[in-house]
């Protein structure tokens, strides 16, 4: 059967739209006389849930055709039946987590723009179209557990409360919303309870309905315009108006209040880590503190925008710390080759409170991947000869690099002589970074280094000393002046646009990492800016 015929006869992008519209218009119209076994208020809530489920189905229908087109199916009517829900969820994960380009290249498109051009048969892509696709994928993926629970067994419970007491907050919070509890589960989390304001789901439906109809018709060429209509460029990011509070068994979505700024579930963890690699299986062990055993800074992001009650690791960034751990760096180089080749890999993390996304992305700092491989190999040989782990600073001096590169590998005496020379050429060094943390990524900038041991001691305008491992509030321009003063004292200064700090939020955290007991003194001074 020809594709054109299938499109014209079998796909009607407007049918679900009108079914949902009809149900919305009849929400308050209850002609039945309910018996005493059914609560009227809960009945009305379930009518709204029915509309939400229809919306999830409507988005699913669109995504099925979108997937069929991007995978270049020739006979959509026949091949559509072969598409699995897991295929749609994988698409949504990549798009929602900011990896649309990676997904497009997986299917041999240049990038996400090229994919959309071919799927929609257009020459130019309106940026709003990409944003809307991200929104559709967010809706489908984020609420899929709820949808499945309602569809299979109707695991819905009546939840009624007006006040919430949260341990970390002093005051009781009051809400006027109607809430519903839903028993959920998936392959990663077998069981949890999601408590959701019913208005959140309905607002999402109302926000999405007209937009989806428009885009769906545009994709299937069942409308009369050649380019995407600008009529729906404005839409509300409904999900951002709510906060997720969770533990291992429960998720509760609550309307944003100022108090949540203190306790909202984290989207970024900054930890210490070490790695193991076995073929394509990566194991990441995490610790709260840097040490010989955990020598790298590891930043974990949760970009999933999910309602499940776990931190979902979607992105991992690895950077160097104080220590030059040559074995770990050789492993990280192998991991970098593995993930850069787009081969399938798995990653396991040694924490029960973290879940790893199927679309997880690992990025390793260029300071690690571009480190002199000959130095690493010679240090590895040096360690084997001396039968001990060699502990050195990451930022070797030029003299130290020359000594290691010239290692003659002639035996234990030569190895001991080399190690003594390397250690004697170690100075006190402080490496300075500014890390600006945005919602979904961190911009880490290396400023330079200094051998001044008192460098980090600075006084702000109010006379208070900047303390290490201390968080304080400060306006962006004052912050810029402080870092500018420090920047002026650095050696090997890197180009840095200090104006980036003008609009920084008012929280700064200064942290100094050092390890004097290792036989050398070197530190990392990092300004963490929200």
Angle CA 291–297–299, to nearest 5: 140
Is a pLDDT exceeding 50 seen at residue 39?
yes
CA 392/CA 85 separation, integer angstroms: 51
Indicate whether 61 pLDDT > 90.
Answer: yes
Whole-number pLDDT of residue 2: 46
Rounded CA-CA distance 113/125 in Å is 7
CB 247 within 8 A of CB 309: yes
pLDDT higher than threshold 60 for residue 521: no
* Across 42-46, 250-254, 430-434, least confident range: 430-434
Contacts of 152 (CB under 8 A, 6+ apart): none
Query: Does position 328 have pLDDT exceeding 50, yes or no?
Result: yes
Scan for tokens 């179209």, then name that residue.
129
- % of the chain beyond a pLDDT of 90: 37
Residue 474 pLDDT level (bands cut at 50, 70, 90): low
Could you tell me if 63 and 141 are in contact, meaning their C-beta atoms sit under 8 angstroms apart? no
Q: Of 150-159, 213-222, 469-478, which range is least confident?
A: 469-478
Tokens of 36: 């005493």
CA Rg, the chain, in Å?
Answer: 28
Retrieve residue 390's tokens: 């060699």
Residue of higher predicted confidence among 378 and 447: 378
pLDDT of residue 255: 85
Round to whole Å and give the CA distance between 509 and 527.
6
Residues comprising the chain, all counted = 530
Between helices 127-142 and 40-70, what is the axis angle to 10°?
130
Averaging pLDDT over each range in 117-126, 251-260, 395-404, which range is the top one?
117-126
* pLDDT, average across residues 75-81: 79
Q: What is the pLDDT of residue 234?
A: 58
Q: What is the pLDDT of residue 518?
A: 47
Backbone φ and ψ of 436, nearest 5°: -100, 115
Give first-to-last CA distance, the chain, whole Å. 57
Minimal CA–CA distance to 397: which of 433, 422, 362, 379? 422
Using left for φ > 0, alpha for ψ between -120 and 50, and beta otherwise, residue 213 falls in: alpha
Q: Which of 299-308, 456-465, 481-490, 503-512 has the highest mean pLDDT?
A: 299-308
Q: How confident is the model at residue 159 (pLDDT cuts 50, 70, 90)?
A: confident
Weakest-pLDDT range from 171-180, 191-200, 309-318, 466-475:
466-475
Q: Cβ(494)–Cβ(445) under 8 Å?
A: yes
- List the single range of 15-24, 223-232, 364-373 with lowest mean pLDDT: 223-232
- Mean pLDDT of the residues in the chain: 82
Place of tokens 């130290």: 400
pLDDT band for 460, please (50, 70, 90 cuts). Answer: very low
For 91-104, the pLDDT digits (tens) are: 999 999 999 999 99
- pLDDT of 463 reads 47
pLDDT band, very low/low/confident/very high, at 454 (cuts 50, 70, 90): low
Overall average pLDDT of the 451-456 stretch: 63
Contact 134, 229 (CB under 8 A): no
Going 400 to 402 to 405 to 407, the CA torsion angle's sign is negative
Rounded to whole angstroms, the Cα distance separating 462 from 443 reads: 29
Taking the mean position of all CA atoms in its chain, how far away is CA 209?
27
The pLDDT of residue 187: 86
According to the model, what pLDDT value does residue 235 have?
66
21-35, 154-168, 261-275, 475-489, range with greatest mean pLDDT: 21-35
Please give the model's pTM, rounded to 2 decimal places.
0.73
Section 240-247 average pLDDT: 83
């Amino acid at each position: 059967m020809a594709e054109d015929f299938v499109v014209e006869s079998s796909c009607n992008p407007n049918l679900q739209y009108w079914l949902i519209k009809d149900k919305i218009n009849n929400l308050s119209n209850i002609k039945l006389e309910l018996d005493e076994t059914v609560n009227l208020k809960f009945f009305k809530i379930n009518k709204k849930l029915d509309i939400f489920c229809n919306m999830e189905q409507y988005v699913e229908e669109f995504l099925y055709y979108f997937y069929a087109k991007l995978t270049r199916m020739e006979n959509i009517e026949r091949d559509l039946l072969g598409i699995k829900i897991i295929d749609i969820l994988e698409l949504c994960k990549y798009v929602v987590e900011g990896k649309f380009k990676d997904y497009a290249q997986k299917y041999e498109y240049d990038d996400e723009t090229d994919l959309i051009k071919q799927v929609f048969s257009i020459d130019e892509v309106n940026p709003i179209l990409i944003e809307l696709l991200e929104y559709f994928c967010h809706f489908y993926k984020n609420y899929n557990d709820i949808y499945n629970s309602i569809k299979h067994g109707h695991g819905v419970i009546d939840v009624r409360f007006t006040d919430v007491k949260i341990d970390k907050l002093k005051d009781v919070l009051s809400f006027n919303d109607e809430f519903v509890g839903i028993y959920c589960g998936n392959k990663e989390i077998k069981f949890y309870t999601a408590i959701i304001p019913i208005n959140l789901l309905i607002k999402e439906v109302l926000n999405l309905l007209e937009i989806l109809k428009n885009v769906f018709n545009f994709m299937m060429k069942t409308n009369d315009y050649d380019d995407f209509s600008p009529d729906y460029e404005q839409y509300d990011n409904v999900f951002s108006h709510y906060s997720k509070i969770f533990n291992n068994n429960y998720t509760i979505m609550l309307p944003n209040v100022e108090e949540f700024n203190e306790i909202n579930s984290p989207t970024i963890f900054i930890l210490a880590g070490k790695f193991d690699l076995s073929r394509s299986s990566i194991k990441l062990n995490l610790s709260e503190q840097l040490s010989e055993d955990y020598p790298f800074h590891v930043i974990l992001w949760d970009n999933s925008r999910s309602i499940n009650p776990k931190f979902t690791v979607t992105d991992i960034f690895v950077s160097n710390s104080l220590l030059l751990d040559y074995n770990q760096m050789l492993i990280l180089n192998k991991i970098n080759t593995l993930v850069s080749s787009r081969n399938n890999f798995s990653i396991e993390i040694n924490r029960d409170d973290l879940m790893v996304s199927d679309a997880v992305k690992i990025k390793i700092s260029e300071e690690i991947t571009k480190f002199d491989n000959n130095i690493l190999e010679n240090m590895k040989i040096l360690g084997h000869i001396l039968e001990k782990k060699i502990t050195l600073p990451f930022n070797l001096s030029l003299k130290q690099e020359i000594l290691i590169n010239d290692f003659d590998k002639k035996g234990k005496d030569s190895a001991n002589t080399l190690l003594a020379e390397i250690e004697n050429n170690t100075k006190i060094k402080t490496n300075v970074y500014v890390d600006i943390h945005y919602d979904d990524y961190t911009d880490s900038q290396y400023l330079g280094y200094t051998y001044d041991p008192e460098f980090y001691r600075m006084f702000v305008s109010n006379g208070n000393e900047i303390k290490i491992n201390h968080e304080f509030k400060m306006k962006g321009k004052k912050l810029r002046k402080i870092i500018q003063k420090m920047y002026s004292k650095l050696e090997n200064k890197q180009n840095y646009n200090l104006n980036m700090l003008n609009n920084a939020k008012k929280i700064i955290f200064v942290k100094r990492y050092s390890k004097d007991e290792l036989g050398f003194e070197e530190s990392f001074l990092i300004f963490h800016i929200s």
